[in-house]
Structures are given as structure tokens and as C-alpha cells.
Amino acid sequence: MDWMQIASALALGMFVIFLFPRAKDAMQNSPKGSTSDWMGFIIPIVGIILFIMLLIELV
Amino acid sequence: MKMNQNFSTVAQRSPSELATNKVLRNTYMLLSMTLLFSGVTAMISMALSMPPMTYLISVIGAMVIAMFVLPKFANSPAGIGIVFLVTGMLGFGLGPILTMYASLPNGGNIITLSLGGTGVIFLSLSAYALTTRKNFNFLGGFLMVGFLLVLMAAIANIFMAIPAMSLMISAVVIMIMSGFILYDTSRIIHGGETNYVLATIGLYLTIFNIFISLLQILGIMGGDD
């Protein structure tokens, strides 16, 4: 374990501590999405997954 | 008659819609300039053969400035300069990473595919959010919690160093950043984000994270990492 790994872990840990209140606030105050709202998110994400699989085939 | 209809359509646009279009236009203009600028700083970093620690120092420095300094200057012209500083630092930090990948037998291919792939993902998701005009505000909590969980998994993997977990984390980061592109673009369209400086840095960071994660996935799957 070198100092760069320790520094990376510390930086990520600080980032988690900084983001935690924002995440909690966003979780409590975000509006609830309907099934069609979630489908509108899931469909393009599935497209992204297929696209990444294509990139892996190309490399 | 047709022309009259077009004039009437333009005249009927509300001031808030025009303001939203202005934020969107300014955001994309600043985003394209910052991406070019960070490309230049990445090339300078590669030419100077900067050591690997440059990435860590640049990312930590850029994130501290983006989180604590930028919000205070977001409404002043200095905010634009700070955005260039942050994106320039992140680009400079990319130099050693790109040098490492370029030294691999198919490194050029990995870098080109990652760059092109990032562009395709960003442009297609932006086009999707802009054309459908769906409101992705409901994703806020889900994306923030997902991002926190993936950060904690990344901390754990620094100590465990499992390649499969590293691959999984990169894949999840791309999914979450894709969600953030939809969420951020939707917020601009629906007037939730009216500051183009903050909108630019948000979108830039999603592009940066997608590029880094794609590099990692293609590097591992290319069998040369």
C-alpha cells in the first residue's frame, strides 16, 4: 500500500462525507417517478449498456 | 400564411422559455470550449511526461475548487475563469493516464474508442432529453445515493484491488453518469438550473467520469491492462 492509495481513499472518503447530506436531502425531497417515468430512464440506459458491449467487441 | 404562422409561434414563446434556451446555448458553448481547453492541457501534460501522481493531485485540487470556490463566483464573470481552471486541471491530470494507455499495444485504439464512445453517449442522451423534454427530476435522490454507494465501493476496492470489482464499478459509474446527463439536461430545460456556469461544470464532470470509466473498461477487456 503506497501513499497514493491512502491519499485516494482519504480523498474519496472526504467526498462521501461532503456528499452525504446532499444525497439525504435529495432522497427526501425528490418527487416520486411513475412507471412510465422510470421506463423513460431505463430504456436509454439499456441502449448505453448495449453500446458499451459493442465498444468492448471493437477493442 | 405559413410565414405568418411561424412569426406567431416565435411571438408566443414565453420569456422563461427564451431564458431556458439561452442557458442551454451558453452551457453548450462553454462546455465545448472547456472540453477543447482540457484537451490542450492533457496534451501539454503528456508532452511534459508528468508523473502518475499528477492525476491524483489535479483531481483533488480541481474538486476542492469546484465544490468550495466555484459556487461563490458562479454569478460573476470570474466563475467562467474558475471553470476553465477546474477543467484545465482535470485535463492536465489526464495526461499521465493517457500516456499509460498510449504505451499499450492497442492503446491508441482504446483511447480513440473511449473518446468516441463518450461523445456518442453524451450526444445521444442529450438529444434524448432535449427531444422528449421529459422531466427527470425524480432521478435526483436515486442518482445521489447510487453515486455515494459506488464511491464507497471504490474506497473498498482501493484496499482489495479486485479487477472484476473495478470493472463493475466503472460500468456502474457510466450508468450513474448517464443518468446525471439526463437529470442535468432536464433541469436546464425545465428551468431548475438557470446558471450556465454550474450547469457546465456538472455536465463536464459527467463527461470526464464516463471517459475515465470507459478507458478502464476497454483497457481491462482489451486484455492489455
Mean pLDDT score across all residues of chain B? 91
Specify the higher pLDDT residue, B210 or A3.
B210
- Chain B neighbors of A51, CB-CB under 8 A: 117, 120-121
The answer as to whether B8 is a domain residue is: no
Mean pLDDT score across all residues of chain A? 92
The answer as to whether B12 is a domain residue is: no
The runs of H, that is alpha helices, within chain B are 2-12, 15-47, 53-64, 70-73, 78-102, 107-132, 140-160, 163-189, 196-221
Supply the pLDDT for residue B63.
95
Decide: A25 and B171 in contact? Cβ < 8 Å.
no
Q: Count of domains in chain B?
A: 1
Mean pLDDT of B68-86: 95
* Closest Cα in chain B to A37: B136
Question: To which H or E segment does residue A17 belong?
Answer: helix A3-29
Under an 8 A CB cutoff, do A16 and B137 touch? no
For the record, the C-alpha cell of A23 comes out as 444525497
Supply the pLDDT for residue B27.
96
What pTM value is reported for the model?
Answer: 0.91
The answer as to whether B5 is a domain residue is: no
How far apart are the CA of B225 and the nearest CA of chain A, in angstroms?
13
Specify the higher pLDDT residue, B84 or B3.
B84
Mutate to test the interface with A, among B59, B177, B221, B224 (most CBs of A within 10 A): B221
Q: Which domain holds residue B108?
A: 17-221
* Domain spans, chain A: 3-58
**Degrees, nearest 5: CA angle B139-A45-B178:** 60
The answer as to whether B194 is a domain residue is: yes
For chain B, what percent of residues have pLDDT higher than 90?
A: 83
- Chain B neighbors of A28, CB-CB under 8 A: 141
- Chain A neighbors of B154, CB-CB under 8 A: 12
Decide: B210 and B121 in contact? Cβ < 8 Å.
yes
How far apart are the CA of A14 and the nearest CA of chain B, in angstroms?
10
The answer as to whether B1 is a domain residue is: no
The answer as to whether B7 is a domain residue is: no
Given pLDDT bands bounded at 50, 70 and 90, which one contains residue B12? low
The answer as to whether B210 is a domain residue is: yes
Write out pLDDT tens, residues B205-214: 999 999 999 9
Decide: A23 and B145 in contact? Cβ < 8 Å.
yes
Sign of torsion over alpha carbons B173, B200, B141, B187? negative
The answer, yes or no, to whether residue B73 has pLDDT greater than 80, is yes
The answer as to whether B32 is a domain residue is: yes
How far apart are the CA of B58 and the nearest CA of chain A, in angstroms?
12
Supply the pLDDT for residue B105.
86
ipTM score for this prediction: 0.93
Under an 8 A CB cutoff, do B141 and A29 touch? yes
Mean pLDDT of B138-166: 94
- Chain B neighbors of A11, CB-CB under 8 A: 56, 59-60, 63
- Chain A neighbors of B110, CB-CB under 8 A: 59
Supply the pLDDT for residue B225.
44
How far apart are the CA of B153 and the nearest CA of chain A, in angstroms?
10
Per-residue burial over A17-49, b if 16 or more Cβ lie within 10 Å, else e, is: eebeeebeebeeebeebeeebeebbeebbeebe
